[in-house]
Structures are given as C-alpha cells and as structure tokens.
Amino acid sequence: MADTTSGAAKKRLTFADVVPGASTAKAGKLAGNSYVPEIATVVEIIQETPTIKTFRMRFDDPAVMESFSFAPGQVGQLGVFGVGESTFAITSKPSEKEFIQFSVMRAGEVTQALHKLSVGDKVGIRAPMGCGFPMDAWKGKKILFVMGGIGSAALKATIEYCLEHRADYQGVNILYGATHPTNFTYQYDIDEWQKREDIDLTLTIDRECDGWQCDVGMVPAVLERMNPDPANTIAILCGPPIMIKFALISFMKLGFTPEQTYTTLEKRMKCGIGICGRCNVGPKYVCVDGPVFSMAELNELPDEL
C-alpha cells in the first residue's frame, strides 16, 4: 500500500515503447490491435449432440494459420460479424496446424448465430487468450479428468495433449458424465479412447436408459465409487456449476488437496485481454489470469464464481 499513498505517477507506456509485433502481454497475444479479429472460414461442422456443434475453421491469412499455436486450456473469442463475440475453449489438438476448432452449445444470441453457419461462412477469431494448464510441471503425474456435459469442450485440448504426450504422464483417467447417451460430445473420440489400453475411461449418465452399458449416476457419486488415489495425481474438473460444487466436495472427501485440484472458469467476457473489467473475480481477471485456476487460488477469491 506504500506506493498508493505516495501518488507518484508511474511512467506511462507510449506507442514508441511498444515494439510493433512484440509481445506486451502476459497471455502471449501479439501487440498491435488486439481488438481486431482474424477472419476465418468454416471448413467443417460436426453435430455433436442435439444442441452442440463443433466448428472447424481455417484462418484466411495463411501466415496466421501457420503461426497459430496455443496451450491446452487456452480460450478464444469467436464471433459472427453483426451479432458479436463470445469466449469459447479451443478444442482442437494443440498440434493441429490445419484448422482451429471450437465446440459451441446453442444457448444465446452469438451461439444461435454460430449454429446457423454453413461451411464456407466467415467468422472472426481472436485467439489464443488466457493461460493454459501447467502441463510441463505435471510431467510424471497421473491426470484425472472429471467433466460433465459441455464441460468436455474445455478439457478436450488438454486430453488430446496428454494422449499425444502419453509417455510424459503416469496415467490418464477420464470420468465423463452426461444427462443422456445422446448428450456425449466427441463420440468418435470416445470410441477410440475405449479401445486404448492406456486410458482409463468411465462414462456415466444421470438416469437408467435402454441399451446403456456404462455407469449410471451423477458425476460426484460415480467419482466417489471410483475412489481414485490422490497420490501423485492432478484432478481437472469442468462442468456445470452444480456438478463442480458437489464434485469438489467429493474430491475433498477423497483426500485431494486444493493445490492438486484444478478447474477452468467461464465468465461473461468482452475484451478478453484484461482491460474491460467484466470477468473479474476479486483481483483476478478470468481472461488473462485464468481461465485455469487451482482450487487453492480460487479459495483466496471472493465467492463470486
């Protein structure tokens, strides 16, 4: 607080101080005008569930497409010109060089406009944004993914990353819950994951359903039945707020510490670059300080998730 009482002016950066093209950002987007989206073309649309579509897009500028890279857990702003932008998790493989992918649940204005797109239509993308998961620091650990519904989108890239670098991690364990068998996203990947012996996959649906072979029950209850060993494990959690709330209680029961339990937050965002002030939780901005947080970090923040 000493600094705040002095009233001394901090030196203001000017255009002269900002080297064009150099990164001034913590989160790694280039300087220049971060508000201006890159134009991209929809190249493929996958209907995942009755309300979720996956969009694959290619940047119109080949140089942008080529240089595009992101860390698992990072997000982007995807927008339809004339309707607006919204924040979505990037769901392509981090190694994917041909396209960038987002999975979108039809809910509000922007997502409805996105759902009306056809292959060949133009969108605007500002990505990547935020900080990803500390994948390097987790080498040698078991990674336990717990996700519900559209929460799978936020963890998709991270799962893909773990599978591509499978030797770096001691184990990959996925618990995925949905309300109904038709509500699982990435069914084509699930089929692959089920065949692999180096992934421990558990699927669950909320209520009994004809022809369903896997678990039945809410994610937190199934998690407790699974009884994972917290030793040398990182748990990553994403799903609807009610699932997160109860899954966290289960994790604490199972002996997981807040330091080894991670989640990724979503907030209503506008600028995505830590300026507009909308996505704050206390002194943290979800767009630049997150969206990835450990529970230990979240416990320090006001109860405004």
Which residues would be at the binding site for another protein (CB under 8 A)? 1, 3-15, 18, 24-26, 29, 31-37, 39, 79, 81-86, 107-108, 111, 120-122, 124, 240-241, 266-268, 270-271, 273-278, 280-283, 288, 302-305
Distance CA 17, CA 13 (A): 6
Residue with tokens 């209907």: 47
Report, in Å, the least distance between residue 266 CB and another protein: 7
Q: Please, which residue, 18 or 252, has the CB nearer to another protein?
A: 18
Q: Please, which residue, 3 or 136, has the CB nearer to another protein?
A: 3
Report, in Å, the least distance between residue 36 CB and another protein: 5
Q: Please, which residue, 52 or 144, has the CB nearer to another protein?
A: 52
Distance CA 168, CA 288 (A): 27
Distance CA 189, CA 78 (A): 24
Count CB-CB contacts under 10 A for residue 112. Answer: 13
Q: Please choose, from the candidates 305, 273, 294, the residue with its C-alpha nearest in 3D space to the C-alpha of residue 87.
A: 273
- Assigned token pair, 156: 């998709």
Report, in Å, the least distance between residue 281 CB and another protein: 7
Q: Please, which residue, 201 or 301, has the CB nearer to another protein?
A: 301
Bridging pattern class, strands 38-47 and 52-59 = antiparallel
Report, in Å, the least distance between residue 26 CB and another protein: 5
Phi and psi of 39, rounded to 5°? -80, 135
Report, in Å, the least distance between residue 98 CB and another protein: 20
- Assigned token pair, 151: 């929460």
Q: Please, which residue, 148 or 228, has the CB nearer to another protein?
A: 148
